[in-house]
Amino acid sequence: MNSSFSSPDLAKLPRPELIDDSPGAAFTALLRKHKLSSDEYATILEILGRTPTLAELGIFSAMWSEHCSYKSSRVHLKRFPTEGPDVVVGPGENAGVVRLSGKLCLAFKMESHNHPSYIEPYQGAATGVGGILRDVFCMGARPIANLNALRFGLRSHKRTAHLVENVVKGIGDYGNCVGIPTIAGNISFDASYNGNCLVNAMTVGVIHEDRIFKGYASGQGNLVVYLGSATGRDGIHGASMASGSFATNEANERSTVQVGDPFTEKLLLEATLDVLEKGLVVGLQDMGAAGLTSSSFEMAGRAGNGLYMDLDHVPVRTTAMSAYELLLSESQERMLMVIEPHRWDELKAVLDKWQLACTIIGLVTDTGRVQIHHQGKLEVDVPVAPMTDAAPKYERPMRPRAKLEDNGTSFNKIVQDAALQRGPEALLLAALRDTGDKETVYRQYDQHIGTQTVHGPDEQGAATLWVRSEWADPTEPYLGMIAVAACNERYNRLDAYHGGAHAVVKAARAVAAAGGRPLAITDCLNYGNPEDPAVMADFSLGVDGISKACLELSVPVVSGNVSLYNETDGESIAPTPMIGMVGKIGDVRSSPTAVIKEPASLFLLYPKSIKPEFGGSLTAKLLEQPLRGGVAPKIDWHAEKESIDFLCRSIGDNLVGACRDVGDGGIVTTAAKMIVKTGLGLNLQIQAKELAGLPELERYFGEVSGCYLLTLKSGSEPKFLQLAASLRYNAVVQAGHVEASTVISWGPWTTPLQLCQHAFTSSMI
Amino acid sequence: MKRFTSTGTPRIGLIDFPGSNCDKDCADAFWRHFGIRLQPVWHTERSLPKLDAVLLPGGFSYGDYLRSGALAAHSPIMTEVKSFVAKGGPALGICNGFQILTESHLLPGALLRNNSRKFICKPVDLMAGSGESVYGRSLAGRRLKMPIAHGEGRYYVDDDGLRRLKDHGQVAFRYVDQAGVPSLEANPNGTRDNIAGIVSENGRVLGLMPHPERATDLLIGGSADGLAILESFLSSFM
């Protein structure tokens, strides 16, 4: 094959049959199948000046799907704070980029693959990992870490075990084969995900600040090159599937789930980084959702150009595919590239080395239109600009949920009484089981490849990587990256605004507890049906809550993804704005773990405004109390900022041995999790004067914001307490001892360690 | 071990297959700890450069689609590796590299899917074999900690083969428990006789499932025991 490619005289090409849009049941069904409204169809007619072909209708359907166009969410996403001194690339590109040290930057993003994973959990989860990896490496970044956040229905639900097993296997098999360590994540179980699990995958890559690549189809006469796997019928309409709700009988959706091939992904990764480093391409874009369609329109759109493509040249893995199918297929591990014609031989040599098929399928033109030929006909002739400029944008009606009058006091009392009835010892066991050990999960993930993992999932906190790079500031030989994903869906169900803020501050606390300074976030906004005004209000409030937290903590949003229509048979999931955060630590040697490995005194760092709550708490969930009762813990921004700074400083001074932010199930559950696998016992006694007078149960199980449990390195107590004395909004008290014993005792209660271990390690069963 | 100066640097070929993914980690470990730059050798090569030793890294060569290491064993470069080994050249195969060595019949036996049917990534304790087994350098009785990460690491060899391995002191590493015993509990994947790694009869070819290159810094995984294995590999030709 040579590098010459010419287009036929398009004016002479016949068009295929146009769709029949005469009013009637057939046309209504056609629009419904494409999830287009009649208003949107009217806009299509206006843009084209004629009736569309079926392929064109498919293109509009995909490009204007919620998944690709963010039509319900765009007006809200604008409110995110996206700027900061370390931001190199903000939202709108394939991934966000933030500076870590010197010229060394992190490119990262999180993305959902919820609907495919519910239908076919193994492939759905695997291709979710594949997609987010490509988003990162097609910018020229080498992926160094994967994270994932999973939400399943109750353990007792009939589908849960099947989904967990296969989602986990899918994530592991894909990431392990490509050779990217899976270093952190979170899993929880809640009834609202019974019919709609969440699979959110995040990738972090490293990139040189001056070598960030963006996907532009520039240069008239340049060649459009197809790279990677051949196209099949898998995944047709994936984007619009992700933009609709499930009915219980989803069996007929199965054909829309893509099939992943991590080996090809690995080749694609190496080949892509190779051609970008050699400067062989001018544009490059992953064929992700809506495949060839979205990649070609997006690249042409960014460059303000047109494209001509000949589908007869697209490599196929099956016969008799129509233009419609070729354009909408979401076959995995494919890329679209734009190259200068004289680069073809060099490019071909690189791709041959990696045994990847590449084919010239088109040209960059100056028409401002995407024109597509297939088997003698001009199947598509659509102007590029209106595809995005005239894309639907909705300000959907919102109706915020009624606020409960209760300030939490009466709910807290109810939960406390129920807890006493259950027995605090039993409650601790239930809490340990519910939030317990994920070892059976992460053992299936390669956590160490890349040999940078200082703290992985075994340490139970945010992950710490020792990032060795010649691009980093040479004065930081032990430079580290800290990454975490966090979201508490129960707080979000209670109050979408505070829930969003809590997700960000929880992530920031996890980063700080590992010694990191938070740098930036990516988000995966999982919500229900946007056509429900209450859900839309939740979404808007969630965006505001996240924005508030980002502003308070000076942590911008640099990339993200929206997943709506997470509902089944009219039941929406709890709002789940998953936050992925990266942070920086100057010296990984000082990074504490979230588990305590040797006997030590335990300290509690807490805001002076501390007030434990049971609204949205793990305790309320375990005791089957109302999901919308009470209030979530209040966030004291002064205290949160101060404690994050304080931790970064004292960890930087190498004073802290272990550190963990207090989370689900309150102080006792968090403390127990820090020691339960080590074989050490615990004597926990909380003496904070701000908590004096509170019932014991509230002190130990009540949930709080801005608290940390920590131990100190030997000999560093005087210096630490001296530093702590200058705290204005926070205080430090000793909270007991980790010691050689066979029990966990707290307040007046005692639970045998062995029972705690059993509960904790049976979490995933 | 001392870092090498520019003269007399050992020449170690890093055999790269499409899908190899521990190659960079190996190169990084040899460079940081020994000052040795590994020389990448692509799988399509039909001759080896002048080398002192070859290293086959972990990964998923050719996607491991047929059977782990099976396709790689038939690649052009393996013909060269085989003749290099036949002349007494030292070779080290880690994880997928071990699988390629058994598939190429440079080491006896086979590596089968873990009995849990699941990929397993975790730190393990190893006990070095009793003979003068690893490249003629005795690690006998050494306890070493390092991670495994594989889906097909269950070593299998028939009764005769096992007896031969034992008779010739070819069992290089066994999985052991806290007490140093190769117990059932310490066996991560159902491997025969707790075998984690073996050497060829002449002691010049070592294959093992655990990853020594991932245990070269206390900061990472809390163990630098992998260095002992890499050092014994170096000692085989230095």
Q: Rounded mean pLDDT of A401-426?
A: 90
CB spacing of A263 vs B65 below 8 angstroms: yes
Q: Which pLDDT score is estimated for B66? A: 80
Residues in A touching B122 (Cβ below 8 Å) = 443
User: Which of A451, A478, A585, A591 to substitute to test the interface with B, most B CBs within 10 Å?
Assistant: A451
* pLDDT value at A204 more than 90: yes
Q: pLDDT confidence of A471, banded at 50, 70, 90?
A: very high
> For a pLDDT cut of 70, what percent of chain A falls above it?
97
Q: Which pLDDT score is estimated for A241? A: 55
Residues in B touching A447 (Cβ below 8 Å) = 121, 149
CB spacing of B60 vs A261 below 8 angstroms: no
Question: pTM to 2 decimals?
Answer: 0.95
CA A181 to chain B, closest CA, distance in angstroms equals 10
Window from A165-169, A402-406, B150-154 with minimum mean pLDDT: A402-406
Work out the burial of residue B161: count CB atoms within 10 Å of its CB; fewer than 13 is exposed, 13-18 middle, 19 or more buried: middle
Q: Which residues of A are catalytic?
A: 67, 113
Q: Which pLDDT score is estimated for B200? A: 94
CB spacing of A444 vs B28 below 8 angstroms: no
CB spacing of A354 vs B219 below 8 angstroms: no
Q: Which pLDDT score is estimated for A216? A: 80
CB spacing of A448 vs B211 below 8 angstroms: yes
CB spacing of B60 vs A263 below 8 angstroms: yes
The one-letter code for the residue type at A31 is L
Angle at B232 between CA B231 and CA B234, to 5 degrees: 65
Q: Which pLDDT score is estimated for A290? A: 80
- The ipTM estimated for the assembled molecules is 0.95
Please write the tens of the pLDDT for every residue from B73-101.
999 999 999 999 999 999 999 999 999 99
Q: pLDDT confidence of B1, banded at 50, 70, 90?
A: very low
B189 vs B202, more confident: B189
Q: Give one word for A677, left, alpha or beta, with left for phi > 0 and alpha for psi -120 to 50.
A: alpha
Window from A63-67, A467-471, A708-712 with minimum mean pLDDT: A63-67
A vs B, Cβ pairs < 8 A, gives 89
CA B182 to chain A, closest CA, distance in angstroms equals 21
Angle at A674 between CA A672 and CA A679, to 5 degrees: 80
How does strand A306-310 pair with strand A198-208?
unpaired
Four-residue CA torsion sign, A168, A173, A176, A178: negative
- Of B80, B103, B152, B213, catalytic: B213
Closest Cβ opposite residue A588 in set B59, B147, B219: B219
* pLDDT value at B170 more than 70: yes
Please write the tens of the pLDDT for every residue from A29-59.
999 999 999 999 999 999 999 999 999 999 9
Nearest 5°: phi and psi at A257? -85, 135
| Token pair listed for A492 | 């979000």
* pLDDT value at A193 more than 80: yes
Nearest chain B residue to A442 by CA: give it: B121
Nearest 5°: phi and psi at A221? 90, -10
Please write the tens of the pLDDT for every residue from B148-161.
999 999 999 999 99
Instruction: State the Cα torsion A421-A425-A428-A433 to the nearest 10°.
Output: -100
How far, in Å, CA of A503 to CA of A545, rounded?
9
Q: pLDDT confidence of A288, banded at 50, 70, 90?
A: confident
Q: Which pLDDT score is estimated for A236? A: 76
- Of B22, B33, B80, B95, catalytic: B95
Window from A231-240, A451-460, A683-692 with minimum mean pLDDT: A231-240
Q: Rounded mean pLDDT of A442-451?
A: 97
Nearest 5°: phi and psi at A429? -65, -45
Nearest to B126 by CA among B158, B153, B102: B153
CB spacing of A449 vs B25 below 8 angstroms: yes
Q: Measure CA A214 to chain center.
A: 21
Confirm whether B103 is a catalytic residue: no
| Domains of chain B as residue ranges with CATH | 12-235 (3.40.50.880)
CB spacing of A468 vs B28 below 8 angstroms: yes
Please write the tens of the pLDDT for every residue from A338-396.
999 999 999 999 999 999 989 999 999 999 999 999 999 999 999 999 988 888 999 99
Nearest chain B residue to A591 by CA: give it: B219
| DSSP letter assigned to residue A317 | S
Q: Rounded mean pLDDT of B111-118?
A: 96
CA B103 to chain A, closest CA, distance in angstroms equals 19
Closest Cβ opposite residue A451 in set B120, B121, B220: B220
Please write the tens of the pLDDT for every residue from A632-677.
999 999 999 999 999 999 999 999 999 999 999 999 999 999 999 9
Q: Rounded mean pLDDT of A2-14?
A: 82
Q: Measure CA A444 to chain center.
A: 20
Residues in A touching B18 (Cβ below 8 Å) = 263, 266-267, 354-355
Closest Cβ opposite residue A263 in set B19, B24, B120: B19
Residues in B touching A125 (Cβ below 8 Å) = none
Closest Cβ opposite residue A451 in set B25, B60, B63: B25
Q: Which pLDDT score is estimated for B6? A: 44
Confirm whether B22 is a catalytic residue: no
